[in-house]
Structure 1
Amino acid sequence: MRQFCKALLRLSVVALAAINLAACGIAGTNFGMARLSEKECMMRAMYFESNRSSAEGMLAVGTVVINRLNDPRYPKSICGVVGQKNQFAQGVLTRPMTDSGAVLASQVADQVLSGARHPGVQSAQHFHTAGLRFPYNNMFYVLEAGGNEFYERRRVR
């Protein structure tokens, strides 16, 4: 009987772990993503990617997320866009937000989800740290905000 109970306990632990992993992420998405709301995913992208710099920087990052969301090449949810592998800061959906920047991120996320966009971002879907420039002739820079350079990829004619 004792061995049966131990085996049952092990099986229960394995089953519970499998259920938790299935709910947390599949197909390369980040663990914990399934537990976050669309607003939380937006907040986290803006908080970590703008380095908590300013409302303008956060709004610019939020605009990029929405631009991607509206493009058929990207996932169809904010959490899907933000959780895409190698697209946003590592751990963006799992690291703790520890300072007052989270309050600002929440306020700006509400604005973005209500339709606010940074006009300078235009249709840009990409950005990188400000101060870096790359020699590719298909990168058209449209804005510098929040410590980032925002750019569109355009076909070179």
Structure 2
Amino acid sequence: MTTTIFSLRAAATAGVLVSTLLASGCMGSRSPVEEVLASVNPDERECLARAMYFESNRSSEAGMMAVGTVVMNRVESSAFPNDVCAVVGQPRQFAPGVMTREMNAGRELAMATAAKVLRGERAENVREAKFFHTAGYNFSYPNMHYVAIAGGNAFYEKIGKSLRSRARLATQADVAAGKTSFDFAALRQDERGGARAATSALALDAAEKAPARSPFKSLLDGLTGQQAATQPQKAPVASAANPADANEPDPARFGDLPGVSGAGIAE
């Protein structure tokens, strides 16, 4: 009787050990890539991988990660849909047939990189950029601030007039030369009422301050009724960084141009 009880206990203990080993992956474990792929929404992974695959160098994980970061930046923006597949499937935004064409060589890398992005990884140098086009193309629009070049694409932010007057926009040549693009995040916070941003190597020189007005001259003007404000004011001079033309061109729908993709709604 004692022997039978011992045998039953031993068998139960062995069963528990086997179950533990299976659960911990010691027996029949999946590869790290399979573990990553199994942890995200399969539909979102497919859509994101497609954007990466058809919009970047298919052997460049960094390039795919950059495209994936743009997609997620759009998902988080109120100007775009809040769903990965809806963002990738927007008309004239990504490569033709992005949602239907077959993926071949490079598909595994795209799927694995998409899973990483969905789990929170980002291309840090892309920052808040929501737009990109084929590297080497140049456009005359005044609001394009380049932040990264990867996988054959140049990634950029659209900068409004008020911010363009406070810092120089980086060009593709700047990024290619390894220069750090000015980070407009702090200035955007400043516009919303936050703390003022620190200066940067790419920031414009501060505007010359008007000479301080003498208190004695102010007193004299007040006594005599003369007001300095009556002096004629010159119209502001337009600059390349902040043109006077109110009808600012918008580099939207770059997907209409040959070899260029990744444009979107202006914010």
The answer for unaligned runs of 5 or more in structure 2 is: 1-41, 163-267
Matched, 1:66 2:76: no
Aligned to 2:220: none
Cα-Cα RMSD: 1.0
CA distance in 2, matches of 1:133, 1:146: 17
Give the aligned residue type for 1:144. Answer: I
User: Which structure shows the higher strand fraction?
Assistant: 1
Q: Which runs of 5+ in 1 are unaligned?
A: 1-35
- Ranges of 4+ aligned residues in structure 1 off by more than 4 Å: none
Question: Greater relative contact order: 1 or 2 (C-alpha under 8 angstroms, separation 6 or more)?
Answer: 1
TM-score (norm. length: structure 2)? 0.44
Aligned equivalent of 1:122: 127
1:53 touches 1:147 (CA, 8 Å); kept in 2?
no
The structure number with the bigger radius of gyration is 2
Q: Which residue of 2 aligns with 1:51?
A: 57
How far has the Cα of 1:137 moved from its partner? 1.0
> 1:139, CA displacement in angstroms?
0.4
Aligned pair count reads 121
Counterpart check, 1:98 vs 2:104:
yes
* Alignment partners' CA distance in 2, 1:45 and 1:56: 14
1:77 Cα deviation after fit: 0.7
1:106-117 pair list within 5 angstroms: 106-117=111-122
Q: Identify the residue that residue 146 of structure 1 maps to in structure 2.
A: 151
Residue-by-residue CA offset, 1:19-46 (whole Å, 9 max, x unaligned): xxxxxxxxxxxxxxxxx71110000000
2:181 counterpart residue number: none
State the percentage of identical aligned residues: 55
Match for residue 24 of structure 1?
A: none
C-alpha separation in 1, matches of 2:161 and 2:113: 35
SS in 1 for 2:65: helix
- Partners of 1:79 and 1:51 in 2: CA distance: 21
